[in-house]
């Protein structure tokens, strides 16, 4: 028997499930919400339960509209009892096709902002690159954007002069220079 704890303002949810129900008005948040649910599914042992229980937990965790959307998929009885099939259909339903040109333009315009930490800047680049379809060039593109996007012109020039610069080296050097410059004299 699953113990229950009040997690949501208006709902009871199995204990151990932290987070919010899916906001159907913000479909672009589906990948993030889905990843959190998959972490819960693994951590809680739900992934070892019957597929029907996994599907019911997914639908319940998503919220009231999920059942209507599931019904609209017109899945067979067999498909309705296959977690992977149901989850894949939700993925296809919610994932918004992105305009790669627009996403790349946004990525290539990104610069470190005044007051923004190097780590925040680097994390933002990683998140933005997710939607750029760079494939095997992803790390190089992030590295290059770090090099030209840093506020510290001297550090940028130093990184540009390293012919063997990798993403890992660029991140390490940027963090090192920031921490070195922030130490009290």
pLDDT in tens, 98-153: 789 999 999 999 999 999 999 999 999 999 998 899 999 999 999 999 999 999 99
pTM for the model stands at 0.54
Which of 3, 25, 6, 14 is closest to 56 using CA atoms? 14
> For the chain, which domains are there?
4-94 (no CATH), 100-179 (1.10.1200)
Question: What percent of the chain has pLDDT above 70?
Answer: 85
The pLDDT of residue 49: 94
Which of 157, 154, 162 is closest to 181 using CA atoms? 154
Mean pLDDT of the chain: 86
* Burial grade of 7 (CB within 10 A; 0-12, 13-18, 19 or more): middle
**54 has pLDDT over 80:** yes
CA dist list (Å): 99 to 59, 96, 109, 111, 147: 29, 9, 16, 21, 25
């Amino acid at each position: 028997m699953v113990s229950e704890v009040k997690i949501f303002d208006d709902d009871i949810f199995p204990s151990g499930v932290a987070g919010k129900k899916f906001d159907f008005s913000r479909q672009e948040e589906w990948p993030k919400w889905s990843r959190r649910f998959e972490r819960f599914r693994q951590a809680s042992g739900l992934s070892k339960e019957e597929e029907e229980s996994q599907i019911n937990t997914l639908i319940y965790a998503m919220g009231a509209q999920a059942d209507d959307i599931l019904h609209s998929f017109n899945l067979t009885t067999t498909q309705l009892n296959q977690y992977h099939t149901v989850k894949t259909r939700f993925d296809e339903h919610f994932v918004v096709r992105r305009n790669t040109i627009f996403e790349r333009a946004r990525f290539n315009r990104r610069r470190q902002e005044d007051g923004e930490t190097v780590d925040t800047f680097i994390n933002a680049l990683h998140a933005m690159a997710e939607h750029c379809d760079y494939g095997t060039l992803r790390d190089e593109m992030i590295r290059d954007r770090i090099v030209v996007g840093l506020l510290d012109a001297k550090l940028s020039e130093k990184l540009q002069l390293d012919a063997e610069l990798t993403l890992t080296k660029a991140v390490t050097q940027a963090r090192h220079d920031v921490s070195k410059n922030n130490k009290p004299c």
